[in-house]
């Protein structure tokens, strides 16, 4: 049996939802291991669209167990709203198919407010967060002042944890001339919803150990992309968690020996939401075409995504950092109309050629892409379900991409529909 970690190899929005849904049909357990409700997956199943934010993709399938790991930050109200929303589409969510780690940290209203306060105060230096409180919640976690799911079970403990968090937050709020946040109403609101959250709460590390001992297939589902990793991404324009594959072990309490295969989801071009470096960005009609045809708007925020050519340098870097075994290539059909297609194979920095993205923001903003150009195929690939059905130039583009990044393409997605996938290698086999 193989346990698989799925990660995005770019800045997120690579089309993980469709691939994870396809894999979850074979998995027994689907686990989210980082991020919050700032990351979204869109699934289309039998003509029904599901937009998931916190719930793992396995929740839409019968006889699967979905787990929210300790590495996720959970807005309890957003989670309950999402459960209510998905129930209206005929999906049952209960204690048999959903487990939440008792150690997961909560996103509370003052985290969301702090996110907004700081983004507004930053002016032109803003990061471009989703303003959902994810960053401040992670800060409280590493600052040892967060409220965790388990704290909802004890009124006295909850009282102490809120005090610890608000001492910190209110000091900052006063400094920024904002009203202090009062505890009592929040405490009352949390105690009111506590039973609804706690009924799903379990020691996830223990449950996963049980599932592993029974030979269950486990799918670890990442959010965002490797280039948004707080250590390995385009810092400071990153998320506040580790998005690399190894975070699946830390974010769930599984040993690293539980990971047998790392699948990197990779878009056939590049997109990014929000601010930050983007060496291959296209601010022309081709960039607009990619955005329009690829429907490049955020699942959670509906923000327009920036678009550009495939950056092989960055994806190759992501492959090495995350130990990626195979690539699921998505949105190939978006390139169908182009006369020529480019892959970034190196950068120029201060007159010198370099073959990796430098760590410093100033240099990341200065690098200029060096491209290799391929002729477009000018034929439709939409809905193609086998390699033989692809145009020759499309195959050449895929093989060149595969060779450059140093990872095998294991599947190719040719439309948002789950069935329109060319399967070359099944990661579970």
**DSSP-based three-state secondary structure for 226:** helix
Residue 66 CA to residue 73 CA, distance in Å, equals: 16
> Cβ distance 326 to 407 under 8 Å?
yes
Task: List residues with catalytic annotation.
Answer: 13, 41
CA–CA gap between residue 309 and residue 256 (Å, rounded): 34
CA 77 to each of CA 1, 82, 313: distance values in angstroms, whole numbers, following the listed order = 36, 9, 40
Rounded CA-CA distance 167/180 in Å is 10
Do residues 397 and 315 touch, judged by C-beta distance below 8 A?
Answer: no
- Selection from 135, 100, 99 nearest residue 117 by Cα: 135
Q: CA nearest 181: which of 166, 163, 161?
A: 166
Q: How many other CB atoms are found less than 10 A from the CB of residue 26?
A: 14
Q: Which of 65, 5, 3, 4 is nearest to 226 (CA)?
A: 5
The answer to whether 75 and 132 have CB atoms below 8 angstroms apart is yes
Whether the CB-CB separation of 422 and 387 falls below 8 Å is answered with yes
Q: How far apart are CA 16 and CA 245, in angstroms?
A: 14
In degrees and rounded to multiples of 5, residue 18 shows phi and psi of -65, -45
Beta bridge partners of 101: 202
Coil/strand/helix, residue 45: strand
Burial environment of residue 388 by CB neighbours within 10 A (0 to 12, 13 to 18, 19 or more): exposed
Assess whether the previous peptide bond of 72 is cis (omega < 30° from 0): no
């Amino acid at each position: 049996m193989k346990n698989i970690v799925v990660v995005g190899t770019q800045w997120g929005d690579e089309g993980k939802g469709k691939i994870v849904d396809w894999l979850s049909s074979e998995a027994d357990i689907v686990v989210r291991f980082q991020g919050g409700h700032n990351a979204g997956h869109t699934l289309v199943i039998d003509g029904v669209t599901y937009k998931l934010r916190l719930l793992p993709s396995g929740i839409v399938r019968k006889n699967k167990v979905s787990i929210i790991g300790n590495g996720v930050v959970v807005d309890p109200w957003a989670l309950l709203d999402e459960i209510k929303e998905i129930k209206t589409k005929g999906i049952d969510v209960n204690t048999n198919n959903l487990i939440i780690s008792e150690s997961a940290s909560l996103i509370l209203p003052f985290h969301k407010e702090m996110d907004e306060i700081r983004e507004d105060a930053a002016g032109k230096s803003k990061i471009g967060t989703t303003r959902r409180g994810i960053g401040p919640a992670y800060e409280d976690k590493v600052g040892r002042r967060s409220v965790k799911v388990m704290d909802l079970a004890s009124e006295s403990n909850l009282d102490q944890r809120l005090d610890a968090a608000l001492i910190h937050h209110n000091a900052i709020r006063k400094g920024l001339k904002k009203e202090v946040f009062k505890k009592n109403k929040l405490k009352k609101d949390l105690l009111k919803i506590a039973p609804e959250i706690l009924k799903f709460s379990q020691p996830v590390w223990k449950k996963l150990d049980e599932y592993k001992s029974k030979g269950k297939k486990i799918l670890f589902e990442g959010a965002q992309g490797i280039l948004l990793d707080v250590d390995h991404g385009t810092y400071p324009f990153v998320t506040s968690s580790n998005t690399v594959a190894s975070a699946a072990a830390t974010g769930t309490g599984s040993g690293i020996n539980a990971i047998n295969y790392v699948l990197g989801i990779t878009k056939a071009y590049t997109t990014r939401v929000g601010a930050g470096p983007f060496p291959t960005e296209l601010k022309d009609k081709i960039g607009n075409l990619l955005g329009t045809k690829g429907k490049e708007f955020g699942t959670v925020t509906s923000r327009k995504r920036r678009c550009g050519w495939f950056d092989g340098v960055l994806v190759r870097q992501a492959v090495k950092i995350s130990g990626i075994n195979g690539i699921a290539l998505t949105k190939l059909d978006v390139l169908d109309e182009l006369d020529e297609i480019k892959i970034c194979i190196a950068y120029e920095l201060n007159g010198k050629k370099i073959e990796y993205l430098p760590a410093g923001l100033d240099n990341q903003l200065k690098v200029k892409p060096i491209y290799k150009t391929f002729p477009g195929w000018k034929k439709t690939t939409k809905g193609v379900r086998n390699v033989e059905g692809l145009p020759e130039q499309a195959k050449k583009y895929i093989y060149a991409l595969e060779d450059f990044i140093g990872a095998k393409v294991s599947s190719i997605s040719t439309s948002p529909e789950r069935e329109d996938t060319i399967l070359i290698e099944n990661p579970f086999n």
